[in-house]
Structure 1
Amino acid sequence: MSYVEEAVLFAFAQQTQVGILSLPSTPADTGIVIAVGGPQYRVGSHRQFVLLARRLAAAGYAVLRFDYCGMGDSSGAAKDFLSATPDIAAAIDTLHAHAPQIRSTVIWGLCDAASAALLYLQDTQDARVTGLCLLNPWVRSEASLARTQVKHYYTQRLMQRSFWTKLLSGQVAWGALKGLAKNISLSAAPTPSIGLNKLPFQQRMAKAWIDFEGGILLLLSGNDYTAKEFLEYAGTDSAWSEAFQHPKLERHDLAGADHTFSNTLTQASVENLTLAWLATAKHAARINDGVEA
């Protein structure tokens, strides 16, 4: 399908945000907002978001990728994913304003953009959002990082003969073993129990995930510590105990993929899986004359 790309400006808190709208000639009922993860702007690593937006637009989906305040071409002070809710809300408003045919929105996010998408829902319960595409969600804490390092680095390293040879020969400092001991101690630390209004962001993410009635597409890289850390965290924290039983969860593990799916094959896989999931309409609320069926 043919589509056009245009820059759009939208205001938020006296700041100007910049986005790129990819608009098909006849948009589907569902539109996609691509949230940005990490300190980067709307293009993404190796032009990932550009390529994804164009592929989705060619398939008939209106897509908006945008810069948070303080990043790229948007004005204001830089912020992190914990403060991105107003930016995402403004982007969804803008997408619907420029493509009034859209009846629902999917948020697509990699790394801490996936986290921001969940936090947005926990903050707003925005009924317009009927689907989430989450890739390698960010749940980093001191304890979760330690658990991941112990399981996926230190355990394998201790099984290698070369490690002990270097240790006994003085090529590896005994400080490495002290680092292991410290990580084991940190990995055993429980999540602090605090008031409902001061939950750690990871538990707020879990609550949004479990309460969400729309569809969730989860894509995990096989060669990525962020993905491994997410699985470790979700497997040990009680707040996440029901997450993988979500009735509308579709999960794919991409063996060999790195954090940003940087090679051509894995990039294409992400695009294909996203399109296939959108086509099933598992993400969409069943709406008839404004009444959810």
Structure 2
Amino acid sequence: MDKRFSLSDGESFLEIAVHFECGGARLQGVVAVPARSRETGVVVVVGGPQYRAGSHRQFVLLARRLADAGWPVLRFDTRGMGDSSGDLVDFESSGPDIAAAIAALRKAQPNLERVVLWGLCDAASAALMEAGALPSVAGLVLLNPWSRHAGTLERAQLKTYYARRVFEPEFWRKLWSGGVHWQSAVGEFAGKAFRAVKARVSASFGAGPTAPLGFRQRMAGALTEFDGPMLFILSGRDLVSAEFLEFSASHAALSGLWSRERVKRLDMPAADHTFSSRELRAAVEEATLGWLNAEFSGGRL
């Protein structure tokens, strides 16, 4: 059943339930259709295990905010998640789902000329990896992309958790009172430091750590080759975000990523991984909207 909304004094928008096929499965989604749509639409790629509403209804609220400003948005369940049928697919295999979702949005909004992919965590990684193979994708909004690997994880932990802990009075109180076993703490820290250095040295000699790097190589290639505008929104209180920064800093091909003209980065120091407060979600919505207006209003490509 279609529902009409109006979040501002402007024109209202509709939410329309849609379904579409992908690999023999039926995928379910919701399109937020503005009264007067722009020629750029947004597909919210959903990571797992999660469905199209998002944590704290983040994707619902985002889609409504963008649609209220004239940007059509599709949020959908990938195969095997939420209300979609089929076998569960992971983010590395969700390319067909994303392509089918883009086709569904274009069918619902025939005037669309281009699409922006928006994703959080492994959905951001999936959107990035697939963007180059999808001609209608003109831009990316990537929040805390997933780049998990033993080496960068250890370095991120050293720079975030351990660096922060030594400045916390509670840590020292526990240490002096015996609440923290200092030999174990030092041993754990030294072990992580050794593994982080070993992983970086191995990578520099081309040996590669033991964990598979396939999806990270695809991400690096996509970051190098995709020439459309990209917005990164990175949380300050999130290990996934910290690890992505380590990944981008340690990969030779990405050394100039943050200085590229069409790459924008918004750091949100107080944000957790899912932007769980009302204020943080609103900030993400406004950042996304501002970036869309800057990049795709007035016919800019």
> Would you call these one fold, judging by a TM-score over 0.5?
yes
Give distance in 2, aligned partners of 1:39 and 1:119. Answer: 19
**TM-superposed deviation, 1:171:** 2.8
**TM-superposed deviation, 1:218:** 1.1
CA contact (8 A) 1:166 1:172 kept: yes
Structure 2: state its 5+ residue gaps: 1-10
Within the candidate set 49, 64, 67, 1:54 is matched to 64
| Counterpart amino acid of residue 218 in structure 1 | F
Within the candidate set 95, 98, 112, 1:102 is matched to 112
Within the candidate set 24, 27, 36, 2:37 is matched to 27
Return closer, same or farther for 1:250/1:162 CA change in 2, 3 Å cut-off. closer
Within the candidate set 219, 229, 236, 2:233 is matched to 219
1:185 aligns with 2:194: yes
**TM-superposed deviation, 1:168:** 5.9
Q: Which residue of 2 aligns with 1:228?
A: 242
* Deviation larger for 103-112 or 145-154: 145-154
Q: Which residue of 2 aligns with 1:36?
A: 46
| Counterpart amino acid of residue 131 in structure 2 | L
1:208 aligns with 2:222: yes
Return closer, same or farther for 1:96/1:178 CA change in 2, 3 Å cut-off. same
Give distance in 2, aligned partners of 1:164 and 1:38. Answer: 38
Return closer, same or farther for 1:179/1:283 CA change in 2, 3 Å cut-off. farther
| Counterpart amino acid of residue 171 in structure 1 | G
Q: Which residue of 2 aligns with 1:149?
A: 157
What secondary structure sits across from 1:281 in the alignment?
A: helix
Within the candidate set 163, 184, 194, 1:175 is matched to 184
Q: CA RMSD in A?
A: 2.2
| Counterpart amino acid of residue 211 in structure 1 | E
**% identity of equivalent residues:** 46
Return closer, same or farther for 1:53/1:159 CA change in 2, 3 Å cut-off. closer
Give distance in 2, aligned partners of 1:161 and 1:268. Answer: 33
Q: Which residue of 1 aligns with 2:3?
A: none
Return closer, same or farther for 1:134/1:283 CA change in 2, 3 Å cut-off. farther
**TM-superposed deviation, 1:244:** 1.4
**TM-superposed deviation, 1:17:** 0.6
For residues 149-199 of structure 1, the C-alpha deviation after alignment (integer angstroms, 9 at most, x for no partner) is 1111223334556546644654323333222222112211133557xxx95
Q: Which residue of 2 aligns with 1:276?
A: 290
**TM-superposed deviation, 1:8:** 0.7
Return closer, same or farther for 1:26/1:159 CA change in 2, 3 Å cut-off. closer
Return closer, same or farther for 1:163/1:221 CA change in 2, 3 Å cut-off. closer
Q: Which residue of 1 aligns with 2:6?
A: none
CA contact (8 A) 1:222 1:258 kept: yes
Return closer, same or farther for 1:259/1:283 CA change in 2, 3 Å cut-off. farther
Give distance in 1, aligned partners of 2:272 and 2:159. Answer: 18
CA contact (8 A) 2:40 2:296 kept: no
How many equivalent residue pairs? 282
Q: Which residue of 1 aligns with 2:126?
A: 116
